[in-house]
Structure 1
Amino acid sequence: MPMCTVTTNLPREKIADDFATSMSALLAKILDKPEQRVTIIVHTGILVSCAGSLDPAMIVQLGSIDRFGENRNNQKYADDIFKFVTEKTGIPFSRIRVVFTDIPGYMVAGLPSDQ
């Protein structure tokens, strides 16, 4: 159940309408998870300082069950995310940060237990 929160100082109008759905498809593919389990939240127009500058930047916080950790594919995932973000927004790699969180399965609920 990948959950991704994107925070950027770009205004909403600078983010393509298909950004969230395209990122959802990308994450499902690279994480080998069903896309119907992927959630994307995009926060735009947020005050973000990166490397001491207010130039366009983006923070991608990505959590998933049993996917990230030492000796895993974190760098490969990051490379794919950097490429996607740069292609979609023009933000250079040097102003993108990706934070991975490995979530224990018991810490995530998708539906009420009676569903």
Structure 2
Amino acid sequence: MPFIDLQSNLPAPNFSDDFLKKLCACAAAALDKPQERMNVVVHPGLPIMIAGSCSPGVVLSVSAISVTDTADKNKQHSAKIFEFLTRELNLTEDRIVIQFHALQPHQVGKKGTVMSFL
């Protein structure tokens, strides 16, 4: 049940429903998870500074159980997600930052309980 949280200073029209579907598909493929288990949120039009510049950019957080817990895994995820974001948003790699968060099953609630019990 991965969570993708994209924050950007790009305006909302850059993030159509089509973009969200493509981002979901990209992240699901990168993390080897089914799309129907993905959770994607986009926050456009935010004041953001990356590396001392307010030029267009993205800060993306990826939180998941079991698939974001090693450097080797995250290196592979990062490459796939960077390729997607640079292509779809016409950004250079220096304008994108990705944070990976390893979640434990007891940290994710669903259906009135936590994933540990599902």
- Following superposition, the deviation at residue 76 of structure 1 comes to 1.2
Task: Give unpaired runs (5+ residues) of structure 1.
Answer: none
3-state SS in 1 of match to 2:78:
helix
Q: Which residue of 2 aligns with 1:101?
A: 101
Q: Distance in 1 between matches of 2:71 and 2:41?
A: 28
Matched AA of 1:75: K
State the secondary structure of the residue aligned to 1:101. Answer: strand
1:24-35 pair list within 5 angstroms: 24-35=24-35
Residues 6, 42 of structure 1: 8 Å contact kept: yes
Distance in 2 (CA, whole Å) between partners of 1:14 and 1:47 is 16
The separation in 1 between residues aligned to 2:88 and 2:16, in whole angstroms, is: 7
Q: Secondary structure of 1:50's partner?
A: coil
Query: Which 5+ residue runs of structure 2 have no aligned equivalent?
Result: 114-118
1:71 shift after superposition: 4.3
Give how far 1:110 is off.
2.2
- Give 1:60-75 correspondences, 5 Å limit: 60-75=60-75
After TM superposition, give the deviation of residue 112 of structure 1 in Å.
2.2
Identity level (%): 28
SS of 1:27's partner is: helix
Higher helix share: 2
Answering whether residue 10 of structure 2 is matched by residue 49 of structure 1, we say no
Q: Which amino acid aligns with 1:29?
A: A
Aligned residue pairs total 113
Tell me, yes or no, if the aligned pair for 1:16 and 1:88 is still in contact at 8 Å: no
Amino acid at match of 1:22: K
In the alignment, is the contact (CA less than 8 A) between 1:10 and 1:44 conserved in 2? yes
TM-score (norm 1): 0.91
